[in-house]
Structure 1
Amino acid sequence: MRLTSVDELFETDASREDKQREKVLDIPLSEISDFPNHPFKVKADEAMLEMAESVKQYGILVPALVRSKADGGYEMVAGHRRKKASELAGNETMPCIVRELSDDEAIVAMVDSNLQRESILPSEKALAYKMKLDAMKRQAGRPSKENSTQVGQDLKGKYSVEILGEQVGESRNQIQRYIRLTELIPPILEMVDEKQIAFNPAVEISYLTEKEQTELLETMKQEENTPSLSQAQRLKKLSQEGRLSADVIYTILTEEKPNQKEKFNIQKERIDRFFPKNFSDKQKEDLIIQLLESWYKKRQREQER
């Protein structure tokens, strides 16, 4: 049994509250490690260099959030970009709030703080949504199952994925589609980030096996081509039926897409003066074709003489 000390007996309510209140501490950068599997990329790009310049002039205006590590030092929860900017600015310390958080509380805080950013890559959203959803399911006291939504109900009967959707302003279905991207092999996921593959085809591709995705990646590189949504859906269906091979991938990927067919465009301003004002674009097109057919037949007759 622990006895109350003399200092504690005469301690005021104000001093007790002051002890419990979180304080901002200047912590050496060398003592702060990154969050494990941090899904948000910290790049030394132009925005980061501008941030570093701001840190040089004004310092860190908003303290980072860290938690203590069992083996000493601290783990960054929110503030990875501020830490990088501090390093580039030549600082040795940065202001931090130290908060005691469980693993799942730390995951939720880390994801929530980063989702406030203006620009977030699809891969960052995908990994962050998955990490937070798994943490929410564990906090709800239910087992976390891969891509399952039938776990983690709260007292109101809502599933974790529905609560997450409400928090981030996404539908339940869209949350699940983002999480599907975590099934992509890293090179294809990077192509999604770089907008070389659209989001919807990428979701369909995520259902392919790792071997099939690798074969698809090789074909995309060789042909300098990526699948459309309909092609990706066919790849997924054939994969699920066990009929997808490297040859089939090549055949589908090298098909001519409707939007790849050559088009001949004429500026409307050049031809509008030849048509009545009430003519629709379809009527103009039909008349042009008729005139071209008439001209073509006339030329044929002249050549036959």
Structure 2
Amino acid sequence: MEIQEIKVKDCIAFKDNPFKIRETLDMELLVESIAENGVLIPIVVRKAKSNQYEVISGQRRIYACQKAGIESIPAIVEELSRDESIIMLVDANLHREGLLPSEKGFAYKMKLDALKHQGKASAQLGPKMTSVQYIANSSSDSKTQVQRYIRLTHLIKPLLDMVDEGRIALTPAVEVSYLTKEEQYDLVDAIAREEHTPSLSQAMRLKALSKDGILDYQAIYEIIKETKGNQIEYLKVPTERIRNYFKPNTTYRQMEDVILKALSFYTHYKAKHRDDKDSR
């Protein structure tokens, strides 16, 4: 296995890579580490056109090098087909913490398609082993969970964003994924009007009506405006009022966690300040 130095500027992103690069604390630490110590683990690439290299494993290290001003990086250049590259890319990234549901969905879908192209699952494990089960065996998710994530790829982007933000849970999202694109856009509009998302039972009803061909906007709106059994009151703060306090691409769920921690710290600080004042 030969390791060679290649130019960072010659590295290009793998086409349709489902894994996103986010400006997180982990990324800041990676940039600092690479700036001080260089890249310790070689990336994996394959030759592309015009003397460029398509990155299979290591896109975060490439990004960190660009941020740190590093011009070259150690790499292993593999001769792989696109299907082989997809399988390697997915397997190299699925272990990462904090993956979004959409990232898992498109990653599993890409790997599933690649396996089907190769006929790999059936060739290695026999006719009773499906490609989805083959994927599940090499991941931390069950076969059912893998299928659920793959169903997310049928959602339109506004709904998929709500799943990533934690506003729609996985199982209701799976049910909603069976709606037509037009019905999904109507659902987005109804959610915006009522400011809450469907529960699992509501999503199942939407799916059933869609299957029967009788789901129109009015039906969608009537279901969404119902009060859910576990409806919770929310304090609503316009995103633009707090967005400047967070890094780009921070999800609503992450914002909520930070705000709650900040409030806890503030309450503790006030209590300590009051106790110090009373003791004087």
Matched AA of 2:181:
E
- Aligned ranges 1:118-137 → 2 under 5 Å: 118-137=97-116
Residue deviations 1:171-221, cap 9 Å, x none? 222211110000000111111011011111000000000000011001111
SS at match of 2:230: helix
Asked whether 1:67 is paired with 2:37, we answer no
Give the structure 2 partner of residue 298 of structure 1: none
Asked whether 1:192 is paired with 2:171, we answer no
Q: 2:7 aligns with which of 23, 28, 34?
A: 28
Asked whether 1:94 is paired with 2:73, we answer yes
Q: 1:105 aligns with which of 84, 106, 116?
A: 84
Tell whether the 8 Å contact from 2:148 to 2:170 is kept in structure 1 after alignment: no
Structure 2: distance between partners of 1:60 and 1:70: 25
Cα pair distance change 1:134/1:152, threshold 3 Å: farther
Give the structure 1 partner of residue 242 of structure 2: none
Structure 2: distance between partners of 1:35 and 1:165: 23
Tell me the TM-score normalized by structure 1. 0.73
Bigger CA radius of gyration? 1
% same residue: 47
Q: 1:44 aligns with which of 23, 39, 44?
A: 23
Tell whether the 8 Å contact from 1:29 to 1:83 is kept in structure 2 after alignment: yes
Tell whether the 8 Å contact from 1:129 to 1:179 is kept in structure 2 after alignment: yes
Give the structure 2 partner of residue 84 of structure 1: 63
Deviating runs (4+, > 3 A) in structure 1?
A: 151-155
Which one is further off, 227-236 or 93-102? 93-102
Structure 2: distance between partners of 1:216 and 1:168: 33
Structure 1: distance between partners of 2:49 and 2:108: 27
1:138 positional shift: 1.1
Cα pair distance change 1:217/1:32, threshold 3 Å: same
1:120 positional shift: 1.1
Residue deviations 1:209-264, cap 9 Å, x none? 000001100111121110000000000000111111111111000111112288xx
Give the structure 2 partner of residue 216 of structure 1: 187
Give the structure 2 partner of residue 5 of structure 1: none
Give the structure 2 partner of residue 183 of structure 1: 154
Tell whether the 8 Å contact from 1:154 to 1:160 is kept in structure 2 after alignment: no
Give the structure 2 partner of residue 156 of structure 1: 126
1:85 positional shift: 0.7
Tell me the TM-score normalized by structure 2. 0.79
Structure 2: distance between partners of 1:261 and 1:208: 26
Matched AA of 1:28:
K
Give the structure 2 partner of residue 172 of structure 1: 143
Query: What stretches of structure 1 of length at least 5 have no aligned partner?
Result: 1-21, 142-150, 263-305
SS at match of 1:211: helix
1:28 positional shift: 0.9
Tell whether the 8 Å contact from 1:52 to 1:86 is kept in structure 2 after alignment: yes
Structure 2: distance between partners of 1:261 and 1:25: 56
Tell whether the 8 Å contact from 1:162 to 1:172 is kept in structure 2 after alignment: yes
Query: What stretches of structure 2 of length at least 5 have no aligned partner?
Result: 234-280
Structure 1: distance between partners of 2:203 and 2:123: 34
Structure 2: distance between partners of 1:116 and 1:249: 38
Aligned length: 232
Tell whether the 8 Å contact from 2:105 to 2:152 is kept in structure 1 after alignment: yes
Matched AA of 2:64:
A
SS at match of 2:32: helix
Structure 2: distance between partners of 1:43 and 1:138: 31
1:152 positional shift: 4.6
Structure 2: distance between partners of 1:198 and 1:261: 15
Q: 2:196 aligns with which of 210, 214, 225?
A: 225
Structure 2: distance between partners of 1:34 and 1:245: 41
Q: Which has the higher contact order (CA 8 A, sep 6+)?
A: 2
SS at match of 1:242: coil
Asked whether 1:235 is paired with 2:206, we answer yes
